[in-house]
Amino acid sequence: MTVLPITSELRQTPLFRIDVEPESGNGLRKRSQIMVDKIQTVPAEKIVKAIGILDEATMMEVNRALALWLGFAGNPG
């Protein structure tokens, strides 16, 4: 299973670190960032449970950043 880690140690890299505010639906307790630049594959059995679900706008932002990181999208400039 391919995953994007989440951290509460915020960095100023807006293209590849997507900010996420804590909400009841996403299960986060602190402002966090999805680390698109740290994509990794882990065995499915290591995924115990979902902590929450991202809203549609955040998922679109993650998808765009991931496409850029993987070279499937043009340069944003």
CATH assignment of the domain containing 41: 2.30.30.110
Domain-located, residue 77: no
Domain-located, residue 24: yes
CB 55 within 8 A of CB 19: no
Residue 73: Cβ within 10 Å count: 13
Domain membership of residue 21 as a residue range? 2-69
**What pLDDT score does 63 carry?**
96
Contacts of residue 62, defined as CB under 8 A and 6 or more positions apart, other chains included, come to 4, 18, 34, 36, 54
**What pLDDT score does 77 carry?**
58
pLDDT tens for the chain, 77 residues: list them: 999 999 999 999 888 999 999 999 999 999 999 999 999 999 999 999 989 999 999 999 999 999 999 999 766 55
Q: Which DSSP symbol is given to 9? A: S
Domain-located, residue 20: yes
Domain-located, residue 33: yes
Domain-located, residue 75: no
Phi, psi of 39 (to 5 degrees): -55, 140
* Domains in the chain, number: 1
